Amino acid sequence: MQRACYRCGTSIDEQIAFCPACGAPQIRVSRPPEELSESGATATMEPGADPPLSVAGTPANLTARLRIDWKSFSRTAAPLAAFTGMVTVALAPLGLFVVLPVSVILAIYIYCRHRPVPVRGGLGARMGAVTGLFSFFFFTVFFLVAVYLNSSKYREIIVDKIHEIAAQNPDPQAQQMLQWFTTPHGIATFTVMFLLTVLVFILMISAGIGALAVAYGKPGNRRRE
């Protein structure tokens, strides 16, 4: 049986792998019987043609691989986040600017080493943010325990700081508001505001480090190659 060459149109035998006229390779891809057309013709695919795409435009055989197993990643990130939270309570600059970035990079690297997947910048930022959330959780736990065990010293530190700020601001209304922060409700409000600030700061750092770690390190892509 003969058919036309896809490049030059020369009639050639089906068994011939290369066109004798133009030399183009004759590649055929057979479909399962249920996918054949009514005429029984087989599908052909030109060399260099793109693989079939899923609905989202991603190659179908990579769609599942692009998903992150968040349970597995959480088990990897949690111990690192616990260490980050503990160090941040004791030494905030060291925990935020050294231990937290290292924990994010290690969490992504370890996960991609055991589950090789191509990770992009957006997923890296999400993985970093998840690590940051765990770090904030452990930081909050250790911080509140430390406050409970040293409540009088903690109150003394806050009151001294507020008095120092009040001495630099002669406005009566500002003085009154600052004095309110020395009350038990004021100290509790101050603590909540402090924790929210730390949360935002941790999320910004961890998400940024996660995106950079993927962009420059590409652990998943290197593993796949």
Q: What is the pLDDT of residue 66?
A: 56
Q: What is the pTM of this model?
A: 0.66
Query: Could you tell me if 135 and 100 are in contact, meaning their C-beta atoms sit under 8 angstroms apart?
Result: yes
Ranges in the chain, pLDDT < 50: 34-44, 53-65, 219-225
Q: What pLDDT, on the 0 to 100 scale, is given for residue 192?
A: 94
Task: Quote the pLDDT of residue 96.
Answer: 94
Integer angstrom CA distances of residue 24 from 3, 46, 93, 124, 167: 14, 10, 64, 43, 86
Q: What is the pLDDT of residue 27?
A: 67
Helices 100-114 & 184-212 angle (0-180, nearest 10):
50
Ramachandran class of 27: left when φ > 0, alpha when ψ lies in -120 to 50, beta otherwise: beta
Nearest Cα neighbor of 84 from 56, 104, 111 is: 104
pLDDT digits (tens, 9 = 90+) for 33-42: 544 444 444 4
Q: State the Cα–Cα distance between residues 219 and 18, nearest whole angstrom.
A: 40
CA torsion sign, 7 to 11 to 15 to 19? negative
Exposure string for 82-94, b = 16+ CB within 10 A, e = fewer:
bbbbbbbbeeeee
pLDDT score at 36: 42
| Percent above pLDDT 70 for the chain | 77
Query: pLDDT at position 107, please?
Result: 95
183-202 residues labelled b (16+ CB within 10 A) or e (exposed): eeebbeebeeeeeeebbeeb
Give the per-residue pLDDT at 37: 44
